[in-house]
Amino acid sequence: MKIAVTSQGKELASQVDPRFGRAPYILVVDIDTMNFEALDNSGNAGAFKGAGIQAATMVHDKGAEVVMTGYCGPKAFATLQAAEIKVVSDIAGTVADAIEKFKSGSVTYTTSANADAHW
Amino acid sequence: MIISVASGKGGTGKTTVSTNLAVSIDREVKLFDCDVEEPNAHLFLNPEFENSTPVFTFVPKIDADRCNGCGKCAEICRFNALAVLGKKVLVFPELCHSCEGCRDICPEDAVEEDARELGVIDSGHRNGIFFVQGCMRIGEAMSPPLIRHVRSYARPEDLVIIDAPPGTSCPAINAMKGTDFVLMVTEPTPFGLHDLKLAVEAVKVLNIPCGLVVNRSDIGDRQLWDYAVQEGLPILLEIPFDRSIAEIYSRGQLLVEEVPSWRPIFARLYDAIVDTIETRRSIQ
Ligand code: SF4
Ligand code: SF4
């Protein structure tokens, strides 16, 4: 199973970036093997509007089933929902911490956007 | 001929100038309120509205049966208004700029036409003035298409006065672009001057002759006059601060009707604009 985590860097030890659409990287981690791919999100991050929509599409294309991030705006959330990707928000610490947290089962899925538009 | 009345910032008296100018000119005039986020010229002009037409813009609607999920529409959209997720296409109509690129590129003819309301265009008359205003729908973010719609009411032989949105952003540029003269209304304060400079730079890029109206000309300092000399900007009218002028404005009345001695002053403002345009033409 693959999980996408918004990140400030390209490593599992990197800090989670709280912004979904505007994070510099999104790490797509296979939690069974801990293999991961670092998606460069900088092209989306600079978008004037709709950065979260693009990021959500990219995450979907990589086959992730869950997104872990800090804040997720309404358009990104709608896109993830349409793609049937679950969202865990208010995540902090490193990407590895986030994955551990997920594996331990102590996460709750978000049912709505927790940031205003333009995040 | 089209004269746009603009300002670097809001609240400088732009609408006072555009409305009083319109009623003081001794020929038929069209007055367009292109300040579509807050059209207020009608409050002073009190026209008899005859028509009200909603204006729509293209947004895509996807025929899910035809769509094969190729993703080309989302790829071409510069505004992130489309998301293709497998065979599902999501449309974010509020982000769409109506370029129709998605419709052109779709290999399956799956992009159909839908519409988003931009706002309403109201038109009517008052004495010799044909008045048109755009009123943007609450929640709508894009004013330039509505502004262009208002401007489409102009014919080449008309004398048109445009009340432009304040500032130097897209809406203001769309209201000023292609006009024959920009009448910039400003105040002699440091803030006013700062915003005026930005607006004048924008007008230079558009290559339109420009002149100034200084409102509340006896407050603030003289920096504005120094700037005008340095830039070669003619000051065509100065309106001093006067409590009775403010009161006339707050009652929604026209200065030239309440204080008739102002009428020839605004009529001369029009003559000065025509002179400035002609002088510039003869130099070029
Ligand atoms: S371009 Fe046409 S066929 Fe391809 S995803 Fe978009 S709507 Fe579907
Ligand atoms: S019309 Fe243009 S802006 Fe609107 S969705 Fe299609 S490609 Fe994007």
Whole-number pLDDT of residue A118:
56
State the first-to-last Cα distance of chain B, in angstroms, to the nearest integer: 18
ipTM: 0.82
Of B84, B85, B95, the CB nearest to A50: B95
CB contact A107 to B (< 8 Å): no
> φ, ψ for residue B192 (rounded to 5)?
-60, -45
Q: What is the biggest distance separating any 2 CA atoms in chain A, rounded to whole angstroms? A: 37
The pLDDT tens digits of the residues spanning A106-118 come to 888 988 778 776 5
Whole-number pLDDT of residue A117:
64
Q: Where are the domains of chain A?
A: 2-103
Atom of ligand 2 nearest to the CA of B98: 1
Between the CA of B257 and the centroid of ligand 2 the distance, in Å, is 48
Q: What's the pTM?
A: 0.82
The ligand whose atoms approach the alpha carbon of B85 most closely is 1
Domains of chain B: 2-55+119-283 (3.40.50.300), 64-109 (3.30.70.20)
Whole-number pLDDT of residue A119:
44
Distance from CA of B47 to the nearest CA of A (A): 39
Q: What's the mean per-residue pLDDT of chain B?
A: 95
Interface contact flag, B92 A75, Cβ < 8 Å: yes
The A residues from 59 to 88 touching B (CB cutoff 8 Å) are 60, 75, 78-79, 82-83
Average pLDDT over residues B144-148: 95
Pair of tokens at residue B26: 């001794």
Average pLDDT over residues B235-246: 94
Helix ranges (DSSP H) in B128-189: 144-151, 170-176
Average pLDDT over residues B22-31: 96
A51-61 vs A74-82: helix crossing angle, rounded to 10: 20
Superfamily of domain A2-103: Dinitrogenase iron-molybdenum cofactor biosynthesis domain (3.30.420.130)
Contacting residues of B for A49, CB less than 8 Å apart? 79-80, 95
The pLDDT tens digits of the residues spanning B207-218 come to 999 999 999 999
- Residue B108 Cβ inside 6 Å of ligand 1? The answer reads yes
Pair of tokens at residue B86: 């497998």
CA atoms within 13 A on the CB side of B8: 22
Percent of chain B scoring above 70 in pLDDT: 100
For β-strands B111-126 and B235-239, DSSP reports them as unpaired
Average pLDDT over residues B64-86: 95
Average pLDDT over residues B91-99: 94
Mutate to test the pocket of ligand 1, among B59, B65, B66, B68 (most ligand atoms within 8 A of CB): B68
pLDDT band per the 50, 70, 90 thresholds, residue B11? confident
pLDDT value at B130 more than 90: yes
